[in-house]
Amino acid sequence: MWKLLFYTIIFIQICYCGFERTETGVRPFSLGYAYTGLANDVWAISYNPAGLSQLIQNQIGLFYSPQPYGLSELSTITAAVGMPFNFCAVGFSLRKFGFELYHEYSASVSAAKNILSLNFGINLNYYNLHIQNYGSASSLGIDLGVLVKTDNKFSGGIFLRNINSPTIGKAREKIPQTFTVGFSYSPLQKCTMNFDLQKETSFEVSPRFGFEYWLIEALAIRGGWMNIPAKYTAGIGLKFMQITFDYGFDSQQDLGWTHCFSLMISWGEK
């Protein structure tokens, strides 16, 4: 029991429990989670599903965060798939977080459609929480996203997470809702700058900033910053043909360093 209590306190300190942090993908992670206005790969499912309509190839992504802040009990594994079709784009994702005493499972089914230069997206989310000796509970959530691109340099997006106010368990604990607005600007062909403002229930507005620069066609460097919780992020991307490997790390003032990895494979054509 003491072990469960200890890790529950840690979860609360870094805001990872209760499906409060469902973002995934090393590229968005390295950009300080400022991804709502960019969202141009399979990880758009977690940040703005409308971005799936930008896909020109099928993509599968695998994300792994093995020991956040040195604790394997906080590990996260995510798999996501995005597939563009002529009528719309669809996506699927599965996520597992926690350890033997505390597990969070979530699954999303996504769809995105371009209408008159506007991109619209929706997520249908299934949440399952399991705590050893206390049982399991499930819930359903709905996300909505909008993305607009004015030209090749500027885009903006809005993301509403859990707009149906889902609750979980007999106590009807409310699963957090977030409202995010984001912008992306490319001053150069190989450089992107992103800025998000996110408001999550029970927290103040959180500004987020990130940049990405491709030094060469196969190598990108990234950096970012966010608050609530306050931390700096950075990472690199390595691309070889249809395979992209991403590595990212962040620094949190109280908890130290952590790192994560992802692999993305693209194939086919729209």
> Where are the domains positioned within the chain?
2-265
Residue 263: pLDDT over 70? yes
d(CA 30, CA 26): 6
pLDDT band at 56; cut points 50, 70, 90 = very high
Contact 137, 129 (CB under 8 A): yes
Residue 11: pLDDT over 60? no
Residue 16: pLDDT over 50? no
Greater pLDDT, 25 or 228: 25
H helices of the chain, in order, are 2-14, 26-30, 44-47
Nearest to 143 by CA among 45, 60, 52, 54: 45
The pLDDT value recorded for residue 18 is: 63
pLDDT in tens, 68-117: 777 778 889 999 999 999 899 999 999 999 888 888 999 999 999 999 88
Sign of the dihedral through C-alpha 216, 252, 104, 108: negative
d(CA 144, CA 161): 7
Q: Identity (one letter) of the amino acid at 196? A: D
Residue 12: pLDDT over 60? no
pLDDT in tens, 151-200: 889 999 999 999 999 999 888 889 999 999 999 999 988 999 999 999 98
Mean pLDDT over all residues of the chain? 89
The pLDDT value recorded for residue 59 is: 97
The pLDDT value recorded for residue 193 is: 97
pLDDT > 90 fraction of the chain, expressed in percent and rounded: 68
Residue 32: pLDDT over 80? yes
The length of the chain, given as a count of residues: 270
pLDDT > 70 fraction of the chain, expressed in percent and rounded: 91
| Domain 2-265 architecture | Beta Barrel (2.40)
